[in-house]
Amino acid sequence: MEKTLQRITYSCIRQVKPRLSDDSLLSDKWVKDQIVAVRNILIRETHNSKATMDQFYQEIQYPAIQSVNSVSIGGLTFHLDDKKWYVTIPSTVADIGWSDLKFVGDWDYTRSYNRLTFDAFRLIDYDRYTSTDPCYTYVESSLKLRNTYGVENITVIGIFEDPRNIEGFDDKTSIFPLPDVLIPKLELIVTKNILEKMAVPVDIVNDRIDNTQNVVVPTAQKELKQQG
């Protein structure tokens, strides 16, 4: 069944808690970071296996795209003949090719923009057949747009590196963008990783006293102690 990030987090913590001593520190945020990291691995596996990826996508509505009409290089300002339009988006998952973006186009989905390589985008004016078509290229979290014909509101549907960075996403109420069939696998990998990274310190007696200063504290434990 579909789960929120919060439910997946609690499920993982519930599975590892019996294996940890009372000197082990485990924060929700750290576990959520592990969940997101494993999700990205599963996304790449799914992409490589050519399976459907629909449930990984998230949608962003941009009420206004941005524009620039000049650039500064070495302290000098150069004015451009035409405005350059762009939208800054959260980073997408790497190593899945153009599957990272499913749709970029008008806010009501009536028109999709063609995705081009940077060189093709730069030289689009010289293409006799497509020079006037709406198009975009994706460079370092920035969508460069051309031929939008006055449209300022656009929709972007993509597979983003961290679902929590999407406006409106709520750990407690939003469905985590992952197919149902992969949730058990994700939880299994995450719990295994947590146990390995925590390197549970020796605790002879569960006495509720912090004895971590007397044992070798693993990296994850040190990070959590600093955060707390």
Longest dimension (CA), the chain: 78
| Listed residue (97, 94, 135, 101) closest to 118, CA to CA | 135
Specify whether the CB–CB gap between 215 and 202 falls below 8 A: yes
Residue range 94-144, pLDDT digits in tens: 999 999 999 999 999 999 999 999 999 989 889 889 999 999 999 988 999
User: φ, ψ for residue 16 (rounded to 5)?
Assistant: -95, -20
Q: Which residue has the tokens 């019996």?
A: 18
pLDDT at 223 over 80: no
Angle CA 162–163–167, to nearest 5: 115
Per-residue pLDDT, 70? 59
The mean pLDDT of 7-19, rounded to a whole number, is 91
Tokens of 65: 């795209």
Can you tell me the distance from the alpha carbon of 147 to that of 139, in angstroms, rounded to the nearest whole number? 18
Q: Given pLDDT bands bounded at 50, 70 and 90, which one contains residue 7?
A: very high
Can you tell me the distance from the alpha carbon of 47 to that of 95, in angstroms, rounded to the nearest whole number? 9
The mean pLDDT of 18-45, rounded to a whole number, is 89
Residue range 34-79, pLDDT digits in tens: 999 999 999 999 999 999 999 999 999 987 788 776 555 566 665 6
Tell me the domain boundaries of the chain: 5-55+171-227, 58-158
Per-residue pLDDT, 75? 66
pTM for the full model? 0.81
- Burial degree of 98 (CB within 10 A; 0-12, 13-18, 19+): exposed
Residue range 144-192, pLDDT digits in tens: 999 988 888 999 999 999 999 999 999 999 999 999 999 999 999 999 9
pLDDT at 216 over 50: no
Specify whether the CB–CB gap between 143 and 116 falls below 8 A: no
